[in-house]
Amino acid sequence: MDGVVLEGSSAVNESALTGESIPVDKEAGSQVSAATLNQSGFLKCEATRVGEDTTLSQIIQMVSDAAATKAPIAKIADKVSGVFVPAVIAIAIVTILLWLAAGQGIGFALARGISVLVISCPCALGLATPVAIMVGNGMGAKNGIMFKTAVSLEETGKMQIVALDKTGTITSGEPKVTDVIANGVSEQELLEMAYALERKSEHPLAKAIIGLAKERGMAYEDKGGAPSGLEVTDFQAVAGNGLRGMQKGDLLTGGNLSFISAGAEVSEEMKQRAIRLSEEGKTPLFFGKNGRLMGIIAVADVIKEDSPKAVEELKNMGIHVVMLTGDNERTARAIGEQAGVDEVIAGVLPDGKEQVIRSLSQKGRTAMVGDGINDAPALTRADMGIAIGAGTDIAIDAANVVLMKSRLSDVPAAIRLSRATLRNIHENLFWAFFYNVIGIPLAAGVWYPLFGWKLNPMFGAAAMSLSSFCVVTNALRLNLFRMYDGSRDKKRKNKAVNQNSSFENKFEKQQKQEETKMTKTMKIEGMMCGHCEASVKKCLEALTEVEEAQVSHEAGTAVVTLNADVLDEVLKKTVEALDYQVTGIQ
């Protein structure tokens, strides 16, 4: 169920829905959703949406709807075979009739017709596609790249646009310490003090500091508990702000800038350094002791080591690389710049990702790479969904390709392997047709009047077997293909790139328009029926600042979309003028 917080404060991990690893602080009036985890404090919530109405259920429904609209891709060989076989039978019959009409005996005419049938047996044509697909799939499986269907192996290499989820795909998905900035003390002292305070916290950012302390051998747990005098007492977590506790009579504090500034002076230099860290997509944590700032420790969801190289390889292959994320614009831009992507689209919710992929697909063939529940609708909507193996089950189920090693470098490798497999299929089809172009006229006796050449049906059977042998051997050459070698990548002209720039501008404009809008949820008592809903809706939408009002007498709410700021008192008086009672506005 989804709901609203009535009492308490805590940090909630919403990564299952939004994909972002940094938890979100919740307090009275905050919205909470199904599939999210309360990680620290106590929350008393009121259910507002249950069952099929929840955000999670809507995501699952979107996956189902998108899957139902995908059209199957017909195989080239299937189309050709439908014409080839009847055509060969017709050629054999015509051959027999022509030789009989030319005065040849029935034995000669039948031998020519049978030779045509035998030498043109569509074995090579039938083997051209499935054998190459089998070898390509085997190569992928050996390297941890699982193509679910033959179609996914054929189509992956045709992608013109690759959209990458940020958290867990480009980045590791777990916060880590990136910078330790001491202020008048050593880094060791700052980290020891931060560890002593944060080891009592359950916050994911605290786990990043604890992890670094353990790497540097500071963990008390490894030494049989905290040494005497280093244990923090009177520990208190102030949700959404920070931590405080006593150590050997000293007051230790840690948290955001506003929390620390209340009890310690933060110099302008340190504030500027914190701003620069924030601009780089990092979260600065301030630590103080007895009212004195000890330093800053920055924590961030760092990008994977192979991400920049993988993005560069995709771009070298002529693919337009887009990063999609539900994170804020500043953090997204910082990560996108480090990864080297062509385009960044930030602040996108699960249904927003699906809409973006739908729009991108209109510009060119689009692949989506993701790992979370929030990516599932986009994975299903994309022309090719690629799931990170360490991701959620629903993402893996929604995707066409699964990267078992969870490495972004496997994305260009998968595209490279697909292109090589498709190229191999085309070679096989060429040789199958080339063989028939030469063999059928010879078997039909076209050259008999000129050179006296005729083909014995037994030699025709041998030649047919040889053609199948050549096709299978050519397909087996794929085992020698080096799928991680990007030195031979051929950059394809991508018509989608210029089109995408216009789409980016359009999307950014839409994002800015949406940011200027604001919604407020009004709690209203006294509405009993649809007529009450209509009355409240009409009076609210009569206000020039209100663009739309969605009213429900069952939930007792009115969700108001504003195009300009308006005082809560104005909204309240407008509704209460109809003899309804407004109990709260969020």
- Residues with catalytic annotation? 165
Quick check: helix, strand or coil at residue 18?
helix
Cβ contact 35:56 at 8 Å: yes
Determine how β-strand 242-247 pairs with β-strand 233-238: antiparallel
Q: Is 101 exposed, middle or buried (0-12, 13-18, 19+ CB in 10 A)?
A: exposed
Backbone angles phi, psi at 390, to 5 degrees: -85, 5
Is the CB of residue 277 less than 8 Å from the CB of residue 296? yes
SS3 71: coil
Q: Are 135 and 129 in contact (CB under 8 A)?
A: no
CA 35 – CA 16 distance, rounded (Å): 6
The Cβ of residue 33 has, within 10 Å, a number of other Cβ atoms equal to 17
| DSSP-derived 3-state class of residue 219 | coil
The Cα 562–Cα 548 span in angstroms is: 7
Three-state DSSP state, 7: strand
CA 115 to chain centre: 55
Using CA atoms in the order 384, 385, 387, 392, what is the torsion angle rounded to 10 degrees?
A: -170
Under 8 Å between Cβ of 546 and 566: yes
DSSP, collapsed to helix, strand or coil, labels residue 222 as helix
Treating both helix axes as pointing N-terminal to C-terminal, what angle do 268-279 and 329-339 enclose, rounded to 10 degrees? 70
Q: Are strands 546-552 and 557-562 parallel, antiparallel or unpaired?
A: antiparallel
Phi-psi region of 173 (alpha: psi -120 to 50; beta: other; left: phi over 0): left
Rounded to 5°, the CA angle 537-543-549 comes to 30
**8 Å CB contact between 541 and 559:** no
